[in-house]
């Protein structure tokens, strides 16, 4: 019985860790995409003149 409880707690900890990583990925992706878009616009502007 104790083994099942420990296994369940370990699995819960893994799920919480995965949720935190997923949330971080969803928060950082828009910022990264915006930075790439800005860099591309600046490079395009510099090469068009």
Q: Specify the pLDDT at position 5.
A: 87
Q: Specify the pLDDT at position 3.
A: 81
Q: Specify the pLDDT at position 49.
A: 73
Q: How much is the pTM?
A: 0.52
Low-confidence ranges of the chain (pLDDT < 50): none
Q: Specify the pLDDT at position 34.
A: 94
Sign of CA dihedral 29, 35, 41, 43: negative
Q: Specify the pLDDT at position 1.
A: 53
Distance CA 28, CA 38 (A): 16
Sorted by where each begins, the domain ranges of the chain are 1-49
């Amino acid at each position: 019985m104790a083994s099942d409880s420990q296994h369940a707690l370990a699995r819960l900890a893994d799920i919480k860790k995965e949720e935190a990583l997923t949330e971080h990925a969803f928060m950082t992706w828009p910022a990264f995409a915006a930075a790439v878009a800005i860099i591309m616009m600046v490079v395009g502007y510099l090469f068009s003149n």
